[in-house]
A and B are shown apart, each in its own frame.
Chain A
Amino acid sequence: MSEIIQPATNVPTGPEVVQKSAPTPLTPPPPPEGWRIDLLQKFPKLKWLVKQRWFQFAVILPNLILFIMFLMAGIWGSPVGNRNIIIVFVWILWWFLLISIMVPFFSRIWCTICPFPFFGEWMQRGSLTTPKLARPGTKDKKVGLNRYWGLNLRWPKALSNIWVQDFSFLALCTFSAFYLTRPLVSTIVLGALIVVATILPLIFRQRVFCNYICPVSGFLSLYSMASMTEVRSRDYNVCLKCHDKSCLVGNEKGWGCPWFNFPSKMERNNYCGLCMECVKSCPHDNMTVRLRPFASDTKIKGYDEAFKAFIMLSLALAYSVIYLGPWGIFKSLANMQLGVPAFIEYAIALWSIPVVVVPGLFSIVHWISRKFAGGQPKPWKESFLMMVYPLVPLGLLAWIAFSLPLIFVNGSYILMTLSDPFGWGWNLFHTAHIPWTPLFAHWMPLVQVILMAIGLALALKATFKQAGKLYSNAKESIRFAAPMAIFMTGIVILFVQLYAN
């Protein structure tokens, strides 16, 4: 038999060659830490729902209608912020739901229903629901097996990161006082985003707006790491045996991952928009949605993601000072009421905290940690990125702490604008004239302090755990983690000082 089986190429074979290559055992990736609940297995109706081709269209459509109504309210409605639905529903209700409910519990479920990419993706796909297959032998524009319209260019390599999202979010936040209070400005900002989200898919492949541009997507990406929901393959071996790679290249049942992820191999939530295309396209029914412990993904991959963590944490603190603090001067500065030069100074200060101060302090503490730990440290970048991760649960809790008063103190505006969305004097549900009624205002500081304490506990736990991955020696690991833990505690003390006072 052996004389018949020949190598395909001219390389030597035989036992003597076997000795040269140390065989690699077939080992699947380590199982995820903590429990998992397969939601699609547990709830067959949910599985049926997400497998329907019309699923995403059905959840985006009502949201899109609402969104268009909000934009119209911004143009033709009352210019008074708290009497206009675009301000109250987007910046109070939506923001609260997004950061306090959706992200912590349901990952990027907002991306499932987000109306921004709707028109662009529709034109790019040439279809609202049914996937199209590229016709062999034709000049169809294709990605994998699916057929697309538009130029179908690839996104520039230099921009294949989230730096644009980092700075576009920071830029948006610099002018936050304008669109948070002025309906027309909100319409212009949100309208501009939808225009960009519509144009880009006609030029570039897949969801480049969501992956690289959308300022909201940037922080959803970061904080979805902490979320309790994930889309993953059930059995990695099934994916290994699958050569169709339908989750990536698409098929007649589903589009290839619009986020350009390789779903079967997915190990973190960052770039999964929960569109459920992989659940539909998988020929082996191996993709699912799972429930998991909070803060399960721990890998920060690059400095762009690290800066997102710095930016988000810094802005949570800055916003708490500007919008929740007792210093009216900051609100006036943010609102350009003290003149353009003062606003520029404010903007420089706002940018320098997340771009210079916090990363600088973090780097110093990280350097001290490495010196203090002794031993053989891992490369700087590796340990730096590992230790940025604890800022993810901490930052998320900080944003929840910031957002709670928004909904409890200003929640009554939701009922008011529900009855009178344009501020035109309507009273659709007889709630237009209810007085402004802050709820649990006295309890807010306590709740905020508790939330920050939970954030600190999670951050400290993550700090020591990450340090344990960097140093196998327990003593070195603890010495490495200690300065970082003090740094995290210092940050939380700042928040607590602010909220408690």
Chain B
Amino acid sequence: MKKNIQELSPMEILALAIHIEKENQKAFISFSEMFEGYDEDVVLKFKELSKEESLHEAVLSKKFTDLFGDAKIPEITEFDVEEVVEAFDIDDSEHLIFDSLKSKKIYQLALAAEKRAFQFYLNASQKVKNSELSKLFKELSELENSHSNWIEEKLKQIL
């Protein structure tokens, strides 16, 4: 039975956030491998984003330890909740066929994913009645926003 994210405990929410960052690394690495031999910059962008996600994961893991000590991180995945929290996705299924993916586009897609995650946590923080949860969601939204800003800076460098 899937839960609404607001029904999760703080520990579960943080565990989910860690899981998502971890899985995103995997997805970026998969994409980088698929585009090997294509535009080198595209491959590098995917690798860079994967590395960035690992840093996000580290920050969240530290947060978990600070909050819950040595408690085991609960096993929870995005499939346990109804909502989509943070998901990077390629905008066109035929990029590999036509070699049409540009490195700038990767940042734009990653930015869209971070913004969606930011919006998601922000909405959750406003909806939830439990103040502790609300605070956690708010902090997560701020974290996602910082990721967005990092990508926006990267995009500016490209322009």
Interface residues of A (CB under 8 A from B): 1-2, 4-9, 11-14, 17-18, 20-26, 142-144, 153-154, 157, 160-161, 205, 211, 237-241, 243-245, 248-249, 256, 259-267, 270-271, 284, 301-302
Contact = CB atoms under 8 A, between A and B. Distances in A.
A8 B59 contact: yes
Interface string B56-67: 101110110011
B95 to A, nearest CB: 7
Contact of A24 (B27, B92, B116): B116
14 contacts: A4-B63, A8-B55, A9-B55, A13-B142, A20-B149, A21-B118, A153-B37, A154-B37, A160-B99, A205-B37, A211-B97, A241-B79, A243-B24, A265-B91
A265 B93 contact: yes
B97 A261 contact: yes
Contacts of B119: 23-26
Contacts of A237: 84
A238 to B, nearest CB: 8
Contacts of B31: 245
Interface string B71-105: 00000011100011001011111111111000000
Contact of B142 (A14, A160, A211, A284): A14
Nearest to B58: A8
Nearest to B136: A1
Contacts of B24: 243
A260 B139 contact: no
Given A4-B63, A12-B146, 12 more contacts: A2-B135, A5-B139, A21-B148, A23-B116, A154-B36, A154-B38, A160-B97, A241-B79, A243-B30, A245-B30, A262-B93, A267-B93
Contact of B94 (A18, A26, A245, A271): A271
A8 B120 contact: no
Closest 8 CB pairs between A and B? A7-B146, A8-B55, A243-B23, A154-B37, A23-B119, A240-B87, A265-B93, A241-B78
A157 B98 CA distance: 8
Given A26-B119, A161-B98, A11 B37 contact: no
Interface string B5-43: 000000000000000000110110011011011100000
A398 to B, nearest CB: 26
A18 B142 contact: yes
Contacts of B56: 8
Interface residues of B, number: 61
Interface of B: 23-24, 26-27, 30-31, 33-34, 36-38, 52, 55-56, 58-60, 62-63, 66-67, 77-79, 83-84, 87, 89-99, 112, 115-116, 118-120, 122, 135-136, 138-143, 145-150, 152-153
A221 to B, nearest CB: 10
Given A9-B146, A17-B145, A1 B33 contact: no
Contacts of A143: 34
A23 B26 CA distance: 25
A12 B58 CA distance: 18
Contact of B52 (A8, A239, A245, A263): A8
B118 A13 contact: no
A9 B52 CA distance: 8
A20 B153 CA distance: 12
B113 to A, nearest CB: 9
B56 to A, nearest CB: 5
Contacts of A211: 97
A8 B146 contact: yes
B12 to A, nearest CB: 16
B98 to A, nearest CB: 5
B51 to A, nearest CB: 10
A391 B58 CA distance: 54
A24 B143 contact: no
A238 B140 CA distance: 23
Given A24-B116, A262-B95, A240 B150 contact: no
B140 A5 contact: yes
